[in-house]
Copies of this chain bind each other. A is one copy, B any other.
Amino acid sequence: MPRSDQIDDKQNKLGKARRFQGASLRDVAKLAGVSVKTVSNVVNNYPHVTEETRMRVQRALEELNYRPNLSARNLRNGKSGLIALAVPEIDFPYFSELARLVIKVAGERGYTVLIDQTGGARDREKLVLAGIRPQMVDGIIFSPIETGKEDLLERRDDTPLVLLGEGATDGILDHVGIDNVKAARVAVRHLLDLGRRRIAAIGAQPGVVVQTGHLRLRGYYEALQEAGIGIDQDLIARAPVYHRHEGAEAMRKLLELKDPPDAVFCFNDLLALGAIRTLINFGLRVPEDVAVVGFDDIEEASYSNPTLTSISPNKEQIARIAMSMLISRMEEGTTTPPREEQVDFRLIARESTLGVRCQEQVVYDSLQEDKARNNSALMEG
């Protein structure tokens, strides 16, 4: 039996030097004195291999520290086992929390996740749709910001793709999200229930209509209308990016109004945390002077000071459903019309609306559809 150091060095066989790739099936087969097929059988745990042969092959695999070449395997199998998660920026807490779950769920299903950061820029998002990293990934989970309906319709690439978060994709592609309008309505209604009447909104977005910001704004309108309160355009603040800084800026402007708000509904938690920062800088009390509600329920919402009332979408459900949809396209090649799925959400009330030292309360649960159910998870134990 040849020793491992007698295996020809591939560097010599190739014209050009190349990083040594490790042992191949052929090397192992040679060392074990069997055919490549048999080694492959052992590696892939196929039956029909004599125990003795198996042992011999195992030893050879060990000795050569064999590692299958995934590029070759993928080429042969026509798939890579890789999916892309395309998000604006991975360090937005909402996206990093979602990414953790997507990576976890994908791992359970045998997939590896690579991350694409679009920065929420339309041209980078178009690249995602056009098939960035062609045939490197079997599928894509995509959380767009600026992508519009036209962009989706123009798409030529046929890599399976599931959309996340956006509101109206009009059944062009598989999509999983939450009922943004309803969630926003629930959030604003909570403020109304607490007696607030001058309720501001932070996070309206200029331009494109097919967007999260638009839907949440609609929910805001509907809640106020239901309560018979007129819309004051001065109370609606824009935010091109949903980050702390923009929330702080927007709040500052709202405080300059001659009749400033007594509550503010922010279209995500980062905006809300920025807004709170401004309120505190101005010496105002939250929620006594201004109550604040956020959206996303990132972990920080449970620890900020004050803790933040927020709409809490079921993120694990988002990850699971997105992955299931994607797998059914990737593996089963499903060609049914695009599916639209909505996940559960809750409104979790905390100090920023209930007051200091209040217990955390689940004020609304889309799963239960009954209000004021008190989950009584005593805050901080």
Q: Which residues in A have some Cβ–Cβ distance to B below 8 Å? A: 18-22, 65, 67-72, 74-75, 78-80, 82, 89-91, 93, 96-97, 99-100, 103-104, 107, 112-115, 117, 131, 133-136, 156-158, 244, 248, 273-274, 276-278, 280-281, 299-300, 302-305, 330, 333, 357, 380
Nearest-neighbour CB distance to chain B for A312, whole angstroms, equals 15
Our pick among B19, B157, B276, B299 for the contact of A79 (Cβ within 8 Å) is B19
Q: Which residues of B contact A93 (CB under 8 A)?
A: 91, 93, 96
Q: Which of B20, B117, B136, B333 contacts A100 (CB 8 A)?
A: B117
Q: Are B303 and A244 in contact (CB under 8 A)?
A: yes
- Do B380 and A281 have beta carbons less than 8 Å apart? yes
Q: Once bound together, how far apart are the Cα atoms of A299 and B93, in whole Å?
A: 10
B21 pairs with A78, CB closer than 8 A? yes
CB pair A278–B97 under 8 Å, yes or no, is no
Q: Residues of B contacting A78 with CB < 8 Å?
A: 18-19, 21
Contact assessment for B305 and A244 in the assembled complex, using a CB-CB cutoff below 8 Å:
no
Do A133 and B277 touch (CB < 8 A)? Answer: no
A112 to B134, CA, bound (A): 12
Q: In the complex, which residues of chain B have a beta carbon less than 8 angstroms from the beta carbon of A330? A: 19
Which residues of the other chain, B, contact A67 by a CB distance below 8 angstroms? 131, 134-135, 157
* In the complex, chain B residues whose CB is within 8 Å of the CB of A248: 303, 380
A68 — which chain B residues lie within 8 A by C-beta? 134-135
Contacts of A299 in B (CB 8 A): 91, 244
A112 touches B100 (CB 8 A): no
Give Cα A103–Cα B118 distance, bound, in whole angstroms: 11
Is the beta-carbon distance between A115 and B115 smaller than 8 angstroms?
yes
The contact sample of 25 A-B pairs, CB cut-off 8 A, is A22-B135, A22-B158, A65-B156, A65-B157, A67-B135, A67-B157, A69-B135, A70-B133, A70-B134, A70-B135, A71-B71, A71-B72, A71-B75, A75-B75, A89-B100, A90-B90, A91-B96, A91-B299, A96-B99, A99-B115, A103-B117, A112-B136, A244-B302, A277-B380, A304-B304
